[in-house]
């Protein structure tokens, strides 16, 4: 789950981050978006939210992998490894970005959230009815490509920021006299019930660990994880003939992970989830956030995790507990806090030379260090 940006007017918007909810009502102007996003990315060391410009390096953010950055196109298919230029600026400006991936598939991003839609012979398939009004823009994007109705929607997982606008698709389907298919795994259906979700349950359920269905002539596969880190029902959805993988929140292409690894419940299994994704057969990655991804983005993340773990281990050795469990700190909780802060600061200093120019480093990596430490006990 990542922060929701809705640039529409007179809209109630909720921004999420771990242990912090900021609820905004009324007239939300586009010029406020940057300020609001900062509120959702407060540094892990509880630094002032006045820190805005300091998060961005002087020369702007570096690209995480070697990529060609292009203007978005509705006509020209994206080549593997290409990415959309100025994507962050487009989001802050309230734009909806649409890029053609294949003859029939399109990637769309609005308010820092993305999904993919596939135009079939009779109807349209949408991967996630992204929430909080964002699907209004997605539906407009679809209508700019085709007049065919949306006839199927997939719930990738149960987090409502990614599936919360399903009502818009149901309403449109009724107008078009279409029986909308809502496809998800049994695990997602169970997680929705357990969380008390008021969203409609899926009409078709697939087995979580491995299963498939079809949309017209397209094969849709789902591959779950033995230990899913982001959520209990997080899985990879594959549009087989299109060579597209869709899995929100596991990574953000061309960025470091958002806060605690994209709002993951745990670091346990996270690296293994990335390794499993990298072994699957696909060309384009729709990650829910960030740019359009490729296998290069997954490999970057795996290398980053190796470096992160090594840096944390070195910082831990350089911060022995006997240096902090001393009388001056008054109590053992303060001692433990100071020891952890030392590990975080040393790790950040160690990684800054290689990763400090990347989007999200200063704001998010402290969260990730804490999650790794927690997973190690």
Q: What is the mean pLDDT of residues 298-319?
A: 98
| Stated pTM of the model | 0.86
Q: What is the mean pLDDT of residues 8-34?
A: 31
Q: Which segments of 111-258 are extended strands (E)?
A: 113-119, 124-127, 150-154, 181-185, 204-206, 211-215, 218-224, 235-239, 244-246
**pLDDT given for residue 54 in this prediction:** 62
Q: How far apart are CA 111 and CA 368, in angstroms?
A: 24
Q: Using alpha carbons only, what angle is made at residue 41 by residues 37 and 46, rounded to the nearest 5 degrees?
A: 135
Q: How far apart are CA 87 and CA 191, in angstroms?
A: 32
Q: How far apart are CA 102 and CA 87, in angstroms?
A: 20
Q: For residue 354, what are its two tokens?
A: 């290689």
Packing angle, helices 295-317 and 270-279, rounded to 10? 150
pLDDT tens-digit readout, 291-305 = 999 999 999 999 999
- 235 has a pLDDT exceeding 90: yes
Q: Are 348 and 363 in contact (CB under 8 A)?
A: no
Residues 6+ apart with CB under 8 A from 75: 100
The CATH code for residues 68-302 is 3.60.15.10
pLDDT tens-digit readout, 252-272 = 999 999 999 999 999 999 999
**pLDDT given for residue 345 in this prediction:** 98
Among the ranges given (39-53, 214-228, 233-247, 325-339), the one the predictor scored with the smallest mean pLDDT: 39-53
Q: How far apart are CA 202 and CA 189, in angstroms?
A: 7
Q: What is the mean pLDDT of residues 224-229?
A: 97
Q: What is the mean pLDDT of residues 61-89?
A: 96
Q: How far apart are CA 192 and CA 40, in angstroms?
A: 25
Element (H, E) at 311: helix 295-317
Parallel, antiparallel or unpaired: strands 235-239 and 218-224: antiparallel
The phi, psi pair for 293, rounded to 5°, reads -105, 165
- 333 has a pLDDT exceeding 90: yes
* CA gyration radius, the chain: 21
Parallel, antiparallel or unpaired: strands 181-185 and 150-154: parallel
Q: Give Cα separations from 121 to 14, 102, 147, 215, 341 (angstroms).
A: 37, 15, 11, 10, 57
Q: What is the mean pLDDT of residues 29-57?
A: 41
The domain segmentation of the chain, as residue ranges, is: 13-55, 68-302, 303-375
The phi, psi pair for 354, rounded to 5°, reads -95, -35
Chain-wide mean pLDDT for the chain? 88
Q: What is the mean pLDDT of residues 78-90?
A: 95
Which residue in the block uniquely carries the two structure tokens 């570096």?
62
Among the ranges given (30-34, 65-69, 79-83, 303-307), the one the predictor scored with the smallest mean pLDDT: 30-34
**pLDDT given for residue 56 in this prediction:** 78
* pLDDT > 90: percent of the chain: 81
Classify residue 225 by burial, with Cβ atoms within 10 Å: 0-12, 13-18, 19+.
buried
Q: For residue 373, what are its two tokens?
A: 């430490």
Please give the span between the terminal C-alpha atoms of the chain, in angstroms, as a whole number.
24
**pLDDT given for residue 35 in this prediction:** 34
Which residue in the block uniquely carries the two structure tokens 């053992």?
332
Q: Are 83 and 296 in contact (CB under 8 A)?
A: no
**pLDDT given for residue 118 in this prediction:** 99
- 34 has a pLDDT exceeding 60: no
Handedness of CA 1, 55, 297, 129 (dihedral sign): positive
In this structure, the dihedral spanned by the alpha carbons of residues 263, 154, 100 and 13, taken in order and rounded to 10 degrees, is -50
Q: Are 73 and 145 in contact (CB under 8 A)?
A: no
- 67 has a pLDDT exceeding 50: yes
- 59 has a pLDDT exceeding 90: no
Q: How far apart are CA 279 and CA 272, in angstroms?
A: 11
DSSP-assigned letters across all residues of 272-284 = HHHHHHHHS--SE
Which pLDDT band, with edges at 50, 70 and 90, does 8 fall under? very low
Which residue in the block uniquely carries the two structure tokens 């994704």?
277
- 11 has a pLDDT exceeding 80: no
Q: For residue 27, what are its two tokens?
A: 């007239």
The phi, psi pair for 183, rounded to 5°, reads -105, 135
Q: How far apart are CA 159 and CA 157, in angstroms?
A: 6
Q: What is the mean pLDDT of residues 130-137?
A: 95
pLDDT tens-digit readout, 135-182 = 999 999 999 999 999 999 999 999 999 999 999 999 999 999 999 999
Residues 6+ apart with CB under 8 A from 12: 23, 24, 25
């Amino acid at each position: 789950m990542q922060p929701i940006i809705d640039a529409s007017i007179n809209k109630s918007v909720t921004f999420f981050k771990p242990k912090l909810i900021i609820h905004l009502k009324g007239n939300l102007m586009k010029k406020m978006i940057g300020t609001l996003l900062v509120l959702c990315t407060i540094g892990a060391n509880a630094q002032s939210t006045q820190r805005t410009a300091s998060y961005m390096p002087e020369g702007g953010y570096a690209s995480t992998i070697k990529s060609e950055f292009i203007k978005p196109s509705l006509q020209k298919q994206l080549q593997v490894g290409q990415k959309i230029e100025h994507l962050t600026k487009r989001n802050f400006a309230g734009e909806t970005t649409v890029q053609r991936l294949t003859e029939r598939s399109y990637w769309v991003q609005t308010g820092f959230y993305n999904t993919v839609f596939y135009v079939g012979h009779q109807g349209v398939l949408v991967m996630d009815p992204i929430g909080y009004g964002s699907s209004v823009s997605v539906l407009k994007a679809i209508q700019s490509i085709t007049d065919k109705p949306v006839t199927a929607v997939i719930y990738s997982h149960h987090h409502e920021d990614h599936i919360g606008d399903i009502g818009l698709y149901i309403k449109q389907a009724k107008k078009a006299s279409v029986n909308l298919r809502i496809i998800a795994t049994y695990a997602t259906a169970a997680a929705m019930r357990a969380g008390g979700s008021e969203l409609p349950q899926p009409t078709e359920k697939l087995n979580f660990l491995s299963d498939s269905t079809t949309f017209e002539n397209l094969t849709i596969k789902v591959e779950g994880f033995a230990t899913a880190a982001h959520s209990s029902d997080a899985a990879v959805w594959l549009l087989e003939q299109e060579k597209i993988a869709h899995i929100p929140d596991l990574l953000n292409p061309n960025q470091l992970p958002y806060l605690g690894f994209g709002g993951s419940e745990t670091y346990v299994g996270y690296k293994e989830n990335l390794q499993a994704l990298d072994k699957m057969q696909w060309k384009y990655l729709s990650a829910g956030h960030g740019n359009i991804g490729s296998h290069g983005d997954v490999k970057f993340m795996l290398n980053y995790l190796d470096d992160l773990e090594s840096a944390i281990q070195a910082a831990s050795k350089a911060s022995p507990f006997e240096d902090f469990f001393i009388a001056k700190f008054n109590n053992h909780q303060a001692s433990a806090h100071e020891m952890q802060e030392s590990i975080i600061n040393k790790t950040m200093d160690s990684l800054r030379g290689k990763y400090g120019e990347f989007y999200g480093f200063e704001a998010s990596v402290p969260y990730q260090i804490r999650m790794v430490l927690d997973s190690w006990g």
